Amino acid sequence: MPIFFQKIQTKLQHSLKNPHFKYGLPFLSFVFIGWYILQNTQACRFDLSNQGSLTRKELQAHGFNVPDSIAPIEEVYEEMKDVAKKDWENIRLICSVQKYHWGSKGNESLVGKFAEANSNLKINSDESYAEFWMGTHPSGPSYLKNNNLELSAYLSSNPEALGTEVISKFGKNLPFLFKILSVDKPLSIQAHPTKSLAEKLFIQNPDLYKDSNHKPEIAIAVSKFEALCGFRPKVEIQKFLKEIDEFHLLIEKDKLFEFLNTPNDDNFKECFKSLMSNQDNVVAKATESLIQRLEKLNDKEIYLYSLVRRIHSSFPNDVGIFCVYWLNYLVLSPGEALYLAPNEPHAYLKGNCIECMSNSDNVVRAGLTPKFRDVQTLCKMLTYKNYLPQEILFSPLVEDDYTLLYSPPIDDFAVAKVTLPENCQYTLKTRQSASILLPL
């Protein structure tokens, strides 16, 4: 799978005609302090080269699948010849793979398929392929294919590729990190710090918190995608706390009584902190009681029984199981998105998504994880805002007939999705920043 770093576009725009892609998935993407997605339904890959026009035979010689039945592909690149010499350059990247335990295994993993296509990595059916990283973060850097130079080193020597606006705000590095995620098991109950908190955590514990940057992020579903995100409305949480007896084992009685009778932001926060701070043996007793009791109910799904059992199978007797009654449970369809601002609790549960985020790997965890749990920091940092499910979904703006723009309220990145019908010619918009291009 060819993946490219695209230098800043300045004067000219670029036309693509008849692009068709390898997978049955609906995207071609660029990152311009974010990323673009271009959709088509047929099967072919193409390379946008800084060497000018490429013929069909040259593309095939480079290993790209260009069926002879497609309209003359030479025409696509001929009009890019002068552009390539003057105003843009596409640099093919080899990207990093993270094999976290929660990732989908082998060929079931979209990440695994991308890794195999991008770098000829041999997929092991027993290994998990969780995240595909495109960017300059030191925990998973991308490299230039032609010389194995790190992208960060290239940008340090060629800062003009980023554009003056990016350099003035973020220096000589990409301000974003672009990922594909294949989630088979729940991720941790987590949140990402603000810039000021990230700087503090990095100084205090650099082995745990890897950088000093914040990590707002957007997740766009590629398949059916399940997540817990943002606190439910207080009235919903109250209902669960009243009807689920096990919360009386997990939350201090005086704090639970106050929240159930006179709810406010302070006692809401104290109740959640009390829940998350429990000893393992107390949580185990409460979890076993909950599952045994729900199994006997005819209307067990009003208490999310199937979800509880599924999470319990991955993380038995974990306090994070009880977070399903505190956080909104969302099921996204392909193309739907979540914007996760700093200090908002969330946990991805299942499915494939594309993520774009600030260039950071800072995560504060408190449940559903074998990693270190920083419960005190997480409970202190959260906003404790309550949301309806529809308030969490992030809607894109319509840029033109083919382009949807996901533009969160930050400077670090924006995301555009370009969907092209068959036999359509489209002119890419000029962006005042660098991009990463990903055909799906």
Neighbours of 134 (CB within 10 A): 30
Q: Which of 92, 232, 365, 431 is catalytic?
A: 365
Tokens 């996901």, located at residue: 406
Contacts of 151 (CB under 8 A, 6+ apart): 5, 91, 93, 135, 136, 141, 142, 143, 144, 174
Task: Quote the DSSP letter at residue 400.
Answer: S
- What is residue 259's three-state secondary structure? helix
Neighbours of 4 (CB within 10 A): 22
Task: Quote the DSSP letter at residue 121.
Answer: P
* Cα torsion 379, 349, 252, 375: sign: negative
Q: At what angle do helices 253-261 and 234-243 cross, to 10 degrees?
A: 130
Kind of pairing, strands 90-94 and 346-358?
unpaired
CB of 158 within 8 A of CB of 109? no
Q: Give yes or no: 365 in active site.
A: yes
Kind of pairing, strands 327-332 and 28-30?
unpaired
CA gap 103, 98 in Å, rounded: 9
CA gap 247, 166 in Å, rounded: 49
3 state SS for 81-93: HHHHHHCCCEEEE
Burial 197-227 (b: 16+ CB within 10 A, else e): bbbebbeeeeebbbbbbbbbbbbbbbeebbb
**Beta-sheet strands, E only, within 42-175:** 90-94, 96-98, 104-105, 128-129, 131-134, 143-144
Which amino acid does the sequence have at 253? K
Q: Which residues are catalytic?
A: 365
